[in-house]
Amino acid sequence: MLLLLLPCLVWADDFACEDTQTPEKYRRYQPSQDPSTLLLQPNEVCYAIPEAELPAQRAACMDGTTPPPTIPLQYRKIVNQLCAEMTQAEKDAVDAVAAAIAAQNQAYVTERADPGCTEKQLQQISQALTNRQTAKQDQDATAKAAIKATIDASPLDRTLLKAVVDDYYARIDSDRGDEYGLFEKVSRCLRAHVGLRQ
């Protein structure tokens, strides 16, 4: 915690506080504070509000009052060392971020409610992985045998060899796609049950 040092320790009722790393970003409104005892949060700077501005600033930004402040917390910013209201474009940007977060949270709630992780579904995933591994081993053995037979043939048919190798790699790429789908299902299940979010 840092202690705010002012050149002249004159009583100033209220302070408007800004984020030092993001200009104009509102941090808090601090009412009725002796400047010699004002403690700063990390990456924060606070400005003493002139007495003439106090009524308007308190009405606009001081929380816990009746009626409540006229500027909602999410729409506040610091301009000329005073608490001020965002422009409509700035409000729209804030709302867009909030909407995106809300949509992500809802998607997470939906995923937890039906993650595809019943015991029967997990058994199906496990069996699919086992079947995939068995099929892959058989395909590898067949492909290697075909490649060896083509190489051992006399004379060597390079065109046929290329076709056999290309088919082998195509099967590998196809297997990767299928395996990714299965592992994605397992990942969704783990996130839903353990509570991890990506």
The position carrying tokens 């796609």 is 177
In a domain, 92, yes or no: no
Nearest Cα neighbor of 89 from 110, 75, 108, 104 is 75
The position carrying tokens 């209220």 is 14
| End position of a domain, from candidates 69, 86, 103 | 86
Where does residue 15 rank: exposed (0-12), middle (13-18), buried (19+ CB within 10 A)?
buried
Where does residue 137 rank: exposed (0-12), middle (13-18), buried (19+ CB within 10 A)?
exposed
Average pLDDT over residues 131-143: 78
pLDDT at 167: 76
Provide the whole-model pTM: 0.52
Q: How many domains does the chain have?
A: 2
Same domain membership, residue 64 and residue 23: yes
In a domain, 101, yes or no: no
Quote the Cα angle for 164-170-174, to 5°: 145
pLDDT digits (tens, 9 = 90+) for 19-56: 988 888 999 999 887 777 888 888 899 999 999 999 99
User: How much is the mean pLDDT over the chain?
Assistant: 78
Flag whether pLDDT at 80 surpasses 50.
Answer: yes
Same domain membership, residue 82 and residue 7: yes
What is the number of alpha carbons within 13 Å of residue 68 lying toward its C-beta? Answer: 3
In a domain, 105, yes or no: no
Same domain membership, residue 70 and residue 9: yes
| End position of a domain, from candidates 29, 51, 86 | 86
Domain that holds residue 70: 2-86
